[in-house]
């Protein structure tokens, strides 16, 4: 992943050949250990560019960070969609989230 950071997908939305290997490896790790923090982290970054819904289910912290990332990339519609998911995930939280916490 270090040799092609955030460049895992072709223009048509299909994974690049190297991405297939990354996905197979990460999915194998997650199959045996679904809560593996490193594998989950890398999986999110592998898929977030074209399929953010696959990377994050309903984790408010992750959704907030992804929305911020998509907005910074100029992907406004995707950022707004993720922001709505964040609001749903965070609606019953005890504390508000601030930018400083991200």
Q: What is the mean pLDDT of the chain?
A: 83
pLDDT at residue 63, as a whole number: 81
Indicate whether 22 pLDDT > 90: yes
Question: What are the residue boundaries of the structural domains of the chain, listed by start?
Answer: 15-47, 57-91+98-102
CA 15/CA 18 separation, integer angstroms: 8
pLDDT at residue 93, as a whole number: 76
Q: 36-79: per-residue pLDDT in tens?
A: 889 888 888 888 777 766 655 557 777 888 888 889 999 898 88
Q: What is the mean pLDDT of residues 23-41?
A: 90
pLDDT at residue 17, as a whole number: 92
């Amino acid at each position: 992943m270090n040799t092609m950071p955030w460049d895992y997908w072709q223009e048509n939305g299909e994974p690049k050949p190297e991405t297939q290997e990354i996905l197979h490896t990460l999915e194998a790790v997650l199959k045996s250990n679904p809560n593996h923090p490193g594998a989950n982290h890398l999986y999110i970054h592998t898929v977030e560019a074209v399929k953010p819904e696959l990377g994050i289910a309903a984790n408010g912290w992750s959704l907030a960070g992804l929305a911020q990332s998509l907005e910074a990339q100029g992907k406004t519609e995707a950022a707004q969609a993720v922001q709505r998911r964040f609001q749903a995930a965070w609606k019953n939280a005890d504390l508000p989230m601030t930018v400083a916490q991200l």
